[in-house]
Structure 1
């Protein structure tokens, strides 16, 4: 199983520093979720881990090797990334989309093979998309479309999967559907999953390991039950809250102290 880490990592755009001298090690075989306020650098950090953004300084290490020195196809056989709100060409079918996940394994010499076909079939089965493989991606519901994109990352056959806000624009039912799918992939297949989530309660429910980002650095990291506190929520999200325990899963639940309906008594 492959490992992923960063040492003395500084990221930014132009003269603006987003992440400053950060060290992080992603636990193998677990679900890690990045949390933090808008603009804190969660997605920037995720993109850099997939070598989509060149660091200003520091290194990303994949199995102890600097990712910047690795060949693109070599990286693509070890980690896959699903960006936020991906868009497919109009009319592209689910099957055609998922086939693209096999690109790292193909060349002028090595054309489409039974191994590629089997990988696509396994990916479609794992996401319950086999019966929709001939449908156009742009004709699917939001949840189905996201499962199609996750199928593509699975067809890539990597240990590590990175996802940038995979539940964005989905209703509550489809959010749970996608997160349950990712949880099952981790439990049954052992994938290391790294994702950005905005919903703190869903992050606490599904993550083994949470990384809270604030002021260009890691504010706190660890198991949800160890780090999700009223102080963390106040300092990272500038919000007062109460923390209770989920009665079903035993994970932390954040209850904001915002203005709501008054409680009226007869």
Structure 2
């Protein structure tokens, strides 16, 4: 599933431990590299004009990077960034995340993004099929798409986005909207849990005012949970499914 691959990559973006801009990474927490683009005498202490943080895999290849402007150390452990551009690199998907502001906590190894957060993902796999095709009740027209074609998915939200690498969780808050070619998911909050060993998605939880759309078909619920192990979606909290499908069960019962 495309959304699952995407989220796994988003979670892995900041989970790789390495040093910024070093060919031979050491097994230690990522180190931030701040670079001032103006002379030293013009810069203010603890505040520089650019910030670059990179994560490398065991072979030294870039796994992810985070760049920001006007980096400022607001405490011994936190660095506030402006105009953030974060990228994740993978064999099956690539993601670019932008935000107006964010805070990197080097002791907790997590990043909080806020204000106009937008994630754009290009993936070679159809990701939303299982989440959108609830109980296989909807047409399988999207499954005929070519798997080799890259598809774009855009994730936006009005609240904060937090990647907690100690708990292996990613949180998207307030009016979260995931839009892809297979359909869309809207919820007040979406939480993704990752496997600590493999960093693969274990489950996805959409909470409060959950609306899943595909074409004219819509499901409503207070919670929707997807588990990777059994690849099923469970709707709870007054679930409602609205299906518009010619030749379906209703048409057969009515003799159409």
Give TM-score scaled by structure 1 length.
0.26
Give TM-score scaled by structure 2 length.
0.27
> Counting strand residues as a fraction of each chain, which structure ranks higher?
2
> Counting helix residues as a fraction of each chain, which structure ranks higher?
1
